[in-house]
Structure 1
Amino acid sequence: MTTMNNINPITKLDYPDPEVIRVGDTYYMVSTTMYFMPGCEILRSYDLVNWEHAAYVYDTLDGTDAQKLEGKENVYGCGMWAASLSYHEGVYYVCFVANDTHKTYIYQSKDIEGPWEKYTLEGFYHDNSILFDDDGKVYIVYGNTDIYLKELKFDEAMHLTDVGTEPEKLIISDKNEVYLGYEGSHFYKIGGKYYIFLIHMPKATGKRTEAVFVADKPEGPYYGKDVMDDDRGYRNSGVAQGGIVDSPSGKWYGILFQDSGAVGRIPCLMPVTWGKITTDEGKEVDFPVFGEGGKIPEEFEIEDLNPEYKYAPLVSSDDFKTDYNGADKSSSFGFKPCWQFNHEPDLSFVKRDLEKGTVTIKTDKICSNLVQAKNTLTQRTLFPGCEAGVTVDASDIKDGDYAGLCLLESEYGFIAVTKRDSSYYLVMGKRELETKDIWGERCDDETFEEVGCVPLGSPVVTLCAGACFDNRTVLRSKQPSLIPHADDTVSFFYTTDQEHLKKLGSDHKMEFKLDHFTGARFGLFVYSTKEIGGSASFSNFIY
């Protein structure tokens, strides 16, 4: 065991709704990836602190027009989320819903890296968790405010099915005054007892809180209470939703996520111990104790199951000179696995020159704004601050095209080369929604606000962006110089001589909103506003 401090947050990246299991000496964590593809990413760890990419469960989901960003269709705020991850008798199971298709998907594989076999359940099981009981029965728990239990069974093909099973049973209902009722189910059998972990947001505190319920039987009755009410001193943002996992030595840990502003929702790690509680019926039962009395300690003991292991980074620079289709079967369409496309890509419009180290993206539709652009190549942003740069060759864009580097989310900002009356210009643009609440609004047609514009003598330029998500931590850690000193803010820069960086436009305030439901990402993009067929090439991405 090793005592570690300054552990949290553990990935410093947008990995919400975590589900963690251990298979032998390896931990696996699945997370929500929404509309980015490939999707349903699984991470791997040997100490629960350091994580690396292990697999994508699917390249594409159902190939709908909205998932492919056809016309003005999209699935922002939808896609896959809150997956259940299980391992039973040599088979991995992933189950999740997609709110655009209103389906419940199950993928199963004998290898965490796939291939994964896909099928669906008949019902819609929101924020579900599947438990393989030791008596051979299989249960799924799910719901919002009202939490339900349903038994599943195996069919002749050894697929899980809900066809022909008994009706669902209401087992828990949130009776509190809440902004958000119980959801985010995680279902376990431990020591002969059944435990359900849930989150909710009581009006009394105004922040997300973790609750646990326990019963002697799957169908209850359940007794429970709140067990985690901590924001780590950060924005009154409660750490909640996730599950627990044990180490080979019998230690227990919880991984729950925290809303962290524009960077997204980041998982946190905490020790879990077991105490005794007395139910209203006077019965004494074992009950999990999160952290130190419901608060996350700054340091605690961690068991490293593979001390010499070197983890691949979850974000990365890229010279675009390697085809990862041959090097890594869990790559992202041949790119490093840290890259994901915004929606399902059309790879016939994406060309790579491995010798030159370029990625060329061609347009095939007219767009009103950045969020409609197909084939935008993205990476997550890093808490508390990060910067990235890329060289853009916009020689082949057409009048009205925009090609550049963005911070992609609901209230996006970007720096891009454009062509006007056959001349090249560099512009900084942003989108600010009129509504200031977290729900956001669908603004798929409106254009951006142009904040800065300069003429370019050449269409080849290096573009840079610096993003700050926690000013206090950035200043303490002496982050790189392009990062602004205000929370949830991005600044854009450029250079034409590779020596002198110039700032363009003004700092842009980003916000996490539920119309997109994801953290800000660096994105490489090109889109057309007048005539399709233009293209831009990207090279030498530095993170």
Structure 2
Amino acid sequence: MKKTIFMVCAAILWNVQMAAQSVGSWTADNGNGTFTNPLFYDEFSDPDMIRVGEDFYLAGTTMHCTPGVVILHSKDLVNWEFLSYCFERFDMGDEFRLENGKEAYGQGIWAPCIRYHNGKFYVFSNINGHGMQVFIAENPAGPWKHINMGGNIYDLSVLFDDDGKIYAVYKYDEVRMIEIKPDFSGYVEGSERVIIPAGNAMGEGHHFYKINGKYYIISANYAPVGRMQCARADRPEGPYETVTISMKETFGTMRAMTVENVGLGSPVPSDGFQFKINEPQGNYLSAVPLHQGGIVDLPNGEWWGFSMIDFMAVGRTTCLSPVTWKDGWPYFGLPGNLGRSPRTWFKPNVGKNVQPHAPYVRSDNFDGKALLPIWQWNHEPVDNKWKLANGKLRLYTLPAKDFLWARNTLTQRGIGPVSIATVEVDASRLKEGDIAGIGLLNMPYAWMGLTKDGKSYVLRWHDQASGQKKDVEIEGTASLRITGDFHRARAQFSYSTDGKTFTNIGDSVRMPYQLKTFQGTRYALFAYTTNDKPGGYAQFDNFMVEEPMADRSKNLPLGKVITLVNLGSGNPAWANPHGMLHSGSKNANGMECRFRVHDRGQGRVALEALNGTGFVTVVGEGLSSDVRLLKEETEGSLFLWQDMLYGQCMLLSLKTNRYVGIHPETGEPYSADWQGTLPDRKDGTVFSWKVITEK
């Protein structure tokens, strides 16, 4: 009876939560004609994008996860939807199946290039040790034909030239080019050559274009500081000249907490491994700024840039930037502020009214005939050891020495800034030595699961980084939950026996970024056995993802009275009676200044100081772009509100395309000639704001 009541209550709760989630998943679209980066608040690394007519297509890295190489579709560059994966399985050896002590963590398939030519879609990508892979389809929704071309062609981009030749550019630092045979049976003999020698700051992750008769290569360089480079030539083989088109843009994001001693080529860390985890290091920029992306044009002639950014525990995610052409170079950014990108900007002018929506449905009650597209397997699954049956996911236990070697682990990317993943687990069919539950797939990992101990069951929590474990006696069914703060890289595990009241287990765990997999932390459903032979199975139901910060509608306080405190100086902004905007502890009346936020449409605001001095207005340009208080609004009174989350913002002047800021230590008046902020947000350009009750 208790179990029946629990199931009925859970079903009712599921329906309520699903209704809430339909409007509660992160989307970059602000619903007012603007968007806020990142496009997705979950991992989408190594993006490549094309336009075909009025449709846009986006391909991204999936590494060792299957199905592999995701394709998304959009009508406006901001709102995307899942379209297909290029393949279901690698079928390339034990390492892709976690068999015989072999693994492919951080290997697999990465840095895809998507192209369209003569009615067909192409995706080119590399698998280490197996060469360049080509996927071909007449419809980007699939099916995709697969060709393994071999060779050592990585971080590549492909150009179908007007004369029928097909070129691939590739490699790190030293940029090489090779010609591909038209039937993709191999490479043209003798065609490989160096087109940009090492030391010319071109880096990796190339994007190759022909625009107005000239050849462009956009790449990511990391020495000494991450930036995006562009090379240009009159012929595909060069000679090339280069410039920097984007640099230092972090959107005020600190470098992620990182694992120092787990990297590319490292063995998979076993329990007892001593992780060296570094906390974020101030304004260190090497891995954070926008990097590795390209450009795409609109039917109206506008150009937009796309790139990725290291976004704390979620990993690398994709951002969108307006492009300004100057002297034949496609700079990311706006006139007057080239090389820096606004976090919030006006949506691309595609002439379509696309309603805000997320690319995936993340919650799954497993009632369907197939898994939702958001799910991927950690390595290749064993097909006869999992199933969807009677509205539940069934995972059979297979031998594994620990969580990272468990086969048939089902994962989806963690989504930020904060998300809560809950699942119901029925362990009644487990055998002695089996364990099943929910985990954080990372290195270090953490998990919570049910295990059978004689005739009873134990709920076990394990944090690999600290080595801590904790057991709680429990019945065979429970709701398990992870609350992930992906911005601060911390997570808390909790459990419930009634589906309503949750109890924390263990300390909060760290979710660092590591360069073994180059991926963010993932939610994972798992089942394995510590025995030498397969065991029983666990059933999972009602996997639910909640995103408490996805609704950002109140992050723009239109019509409200607010105070602004500069994060750099720690002082409120106040209106000097002489008509200047200052930073200080008090204004002339001994009180902090209050501003009314007037709505001017499309995210544009005018700020009126309530001490009677007028509207915050930018006067002049360049070094003279001071900020004054004028009685009447002018074009200099318009700002685009930059939502930095957590009650923080920047003010982008639509007169200068730069930000309002001060030098925190000098106490001089504000100006609107700041390019952007630093990762710690304490350079004088970021404000904390709060709504106050007007008296």
1:120 to 1:351, Cα distance in 2 relative to 1, 3 A:
closer
1:282 corresponds to: none
2:453 corresponds to: 420
Q: Please say which of residues 291-300 and 159-168 is displaced more in the overlay.
A: 159-168
CA–CA distance in structure 2, aligned partners of residues 500 and 3 of structure 1: 38
- Confirm or deny that 1:162 pairs with 2:186: yes
1:387 corresponds to: 420
1:36 to 1:306, Cα distance in 2 relative to 1, 3 A:
farther
1:40 corresponds to: 69
CA–CA distance in structure 1, aligned partners of residues 48 and 188 of structure 2: 28
Q: Provide the secondary structure at the position in 1 that maps to 2:96.
A: coil
1:57 corresponds to: 86
CA–CA distance in structure 1, aligned partners of residues 358 and 382 of structure 2: 28
Taking the TM superposition and a 5 Å limit, the aligned residue runs for 1:255-404 are 255-276=306-327, 286-292=328-334, 293-297=338-342, 298-304=344-350, 306-308=352-354, 311=357, 313-323=359-369, 334-353=370-389, 356-364=390-398, 366-404=399-437
Deviations for 1:326-349, whole angstroms, at most 9, x for unmatched residues?
xxxxxxxx2111111111111201
> For the Cα contact (< 8 Å) 2:434–2:535, is it kept in 1?
no
1:338 to 1:309, Cα distance in 2 relative to 1, 3 A:
same
- Confirm or deny that 1:112 pairs with 2:112: no
How far did residue 532 of structure 1 move?
2.0
> For the Cα contact (< 8 Å) 1:140–1:149, is it kept in 2?
yes
Q: Please say which of residues 227-236 and 141-150 is displaced more in the overlay.
A: 227-236
1:399 to 1:269, Cα distance in 2 relative to 1, 3 A:
same
1:488 corresponds to: 489
Deviations for 1:23-75, whole angstroms, at most 9, x for unmatched residues?
11111000000011110100111111111111100001224211111242211
Q: Structure 1: give runs of 5+ residues left out of the alignment.
A: 277-285, 324-333, 434-448, 471-486
Aligned length: 478
Tell me the amino acid that sits aligned with residue 392 of structure 1: V
CA–CA distance in structure 1, aligned partners of residues 32 and 293 of structure 2: 23
CA–CA distance in structure 1, aligned partners of residues 47 and 357 of structure 2: 19
> For the Cα contact (< 8 Å) 1:346–1:375, is it kept in 2?
yes
> For the Cα contact (< 8 Å) 2:120–2:137, is it kept in 1?
yes
Q: Please say which of residues 139-148 and 407-416 is displaced more in the overlay.
A: 407-416
1:305 to 1:368, Cα distance in 2 relative to 1, 3 A:
farther
CA–CA distance in structure 1, aligned partners of residues 151 and 168 of structure 2: 11
- Confirm or deny that 1:141 pairs with 2:169: yes
The one of 461, 481, 484 aligned to 1:464: 481
Tell me the amino acid that sits aligned with residue 174 of structure 2: D
Q: Provide the secondary structure at the position in 2 that maps to 1:144.
A: coil
Larger radius of gyration: 2
Deviations for 1:377-424, whole angstroms, at most 9, x for unmatched residues?
111111211111000001111222210011111111111111223321
The one of 437, 441, 458 aligned to 1:408: 441
1:152 corresponds to: 180
How far did residue 509 of structure 1 move?
0.4
> For the Cα contact (< 8 Å) 1:153–1:165, is it kept in 2?
no
Tell me the amino acid that sits aligned with residue 335 of structure 1: L
Deviations for 1:53-112, whole angstroms, at most 9, x for unmatched residues?
11100001224211111242211010000011100000111111112x332111111110
1:231 corresponds to: 250
1:202 corresponds to: 223
> For the Cα contact (< 8 Å) 1:258–1:267, is it kept in 2?
yes
CA–CA distance in structure 2, aligned partners of residues 296 and 383 of structure 1: 21
Q: Provide the secondary structure at the position in 2 that maps to 1:302.
A: coil
Aligned-residue RMSD, C-alpha: 1.8
Q: Structure 2: give runs of 5+ residues left out of the alignment.
A: 1-30, 255-284, 546-695
1:187 to 1:3, Cα distance in 2 relative to 1, 3 A:
farther
CA–CA distance in structure 2, aligned partners of residues 523 and 163 of structure 1: 40
> For the Cα contact (< 8 Å) 1:357–1:540, is it kept in 2?
no
CA–CA distance in structure 2, aligned partners of residues 422 and 450 of structure 1: 25
How far did residue 432 of structure 1 move?
1.9
How far did residue 296 of structure 1 move?
0.7
Deviations for 1:194-240, whole angstroms, at most 9, x for unmatched residues?
0000001122x3xx210000000000000002111111221131111
Q: Provide the secondary structure at the position in 1 that maps to 2:116.
A: strand
CA–CA distance in structure 2, aligned partners of residues 411 and 42 of structure 1: 29
Deviations for 1:261-281, whole angstroms, at most 9, x for unmatched residues?
2211001100012101xxxxx
- Confirm or deny that 1:27 pairs with 2:56: yes
Tell me the amino acid that sits aligned with residue 424 of structure 2: T
2:197 corresponds to: 173
Q: Provide the secondary structure at the position in 1 that maps to 2:171.
A: strand
How far did residue 469 of structure 1 move?
1.8
1:438 corresponds to: none
CA–CA distance in structure 2, aligned partners of residues 214 and 311 of structure 1: 37
- Confirm or deny that 1:130 pairs with 2:158: yes
What TM-score results when the alignment is normalised by the length of structure 2? 0.67
Which protein has greater RCO, CA pairs closer than 8 Å, 6+ apart? Answer: 1
Deviations for 1:463-495, whole angstroms, at most 9, x for unmatched residues?
01011122xxxxxxxxxxxxxxxx111101110
2:544 corresponds to: 542
CA–CA distance in structure 2, aligned partners of residues 145 and 308 of structure 1: 40
What TM-score results when the alignment is normalised by the length of structure 1? 0.85
CA–CA distance in structure 2, aligned partners of residues 223 and 86 of structure 1: 25
1:329 corresponds to: none
CA–CA distance in structure 2, aligned partners of residues 393 and 423 of structure 1: 13
Q: Provide the secondary structure at the position in 1 that maps to 2:384.
A: helix
Q: Please say which of residues 4-13 and 258-267 is displaced more in the overlay.
A: 4-13
> For the Cα contact (< 8 Å) 2:323–2:332, is it kept in 1?
yes
CA–CA distance in structure 2, aligned partners of residues 3 and 301 of structure 1: 9
Tell me the amino acid that sits aligned with residue 80 of structure 2: W
2:124 corresponds to: 95
> For the Cα contact (< 8 Å) 2:60–2:69, is it kept in 1?
yes
Tell me the amino acid that sits aligned with residue 223 of structure 2: P
Q: Provide the secondary structure at the position in 2 that maps to 1:348.
A: helix
Q: Provide the secondary structure at the position in 2 that maps to 1:70.
A: coil
How far did residue 498 of structure 1 move?
1.6
CA–CA distance in structure 2, aligned partners of residues 127 and 308 of structure 1: 33
Identity of aligned residues (%): 37
Tell me the amino acid that sits aligned with residue 166 of structure 2: V
Tell me the amino acid that sits aligned with residue 481 of structure 2: C
Taking the TM superposition and a 5 Å limit, the aligned residue runs for 1:74-89 are 74-89=103-118
> For the Cα contact (< 8 Å) 1:3–1:302, is it kept in 2?
no
1:331 corresponds to: none
> For the Cα contact (< 8 Å) 1:389–1:465, is it kept in 2?
yes
CA–CA distance in structure 2, aligned partners of residues 360 and 82 of structure 1: 33
Q: Provide the secondary structure at the position in 1 that maps to 2:103.
A: coil
Tell me the amino acid that sits aligned with residue 96 of structure 2: Q
Tell me the amino acid that sits aligned with residue 349 of structure 1: K
CA–CA distance in structure 1, aligned partners of residues 452 and 484 of structure 2: 27
Q: Provide the secondary structure at the position in 1 that maps to 2:222.
A: strand
CA–CA distance in structure 1, aligned partners of residues 391 and 164 of structure 2: 53
CA–CA distance in structure 2, aligned partners of residues 210 and 66 of structure 1: 34
Q: Please say which of residues 414-423 and 17-26 is displaced more in the overlay.
A: 414-423
